[in-house]
Amino acid sequence: MTLNEYFINWDPMGFIEDLGAPRDEYSYEVAQIKVGFKSDMSATDVANLIYKVFDEHIGVGESPNFKEECNQKADDIKEILLNR
């Protein structure tokens, strides 16, 4: 699975499922996560990176569960990034 596919399936903001956004809705955020990722990052670092990218671009401060979701998905996302 690619990182783009992972974010399409996750649909963290509900834009694809709830609003009918195109499947490439998170392509900018995925690109920014790829740029910011370093192979020596911990899962917590990856979660923080995801949160930061989404907060800067979309403003997720209104979404209290998003930080928790980032922490839950960080290991999977790190694995995908390490194997790209």
Q: How many residues does the chain have?
A: 84
Q: Determine the pLDDT at residue 60.
A: 83
- 3: tokens are 């990182």
* Mean pLDDT, rounded, for 5-33: 95
- 53: tokens are 């990218």
d(CA 54, CA 62): 12
Q: Is the pTM of this model over 0.85?
A: yes
Per residue in 37-83, pLDDT (tens digit) is 999 999 999 999 999 999 999 888 767 699 999 999 999 999 999 99
The CB density around residue 80, as the number of other CB atoms within 10 Å, is 19
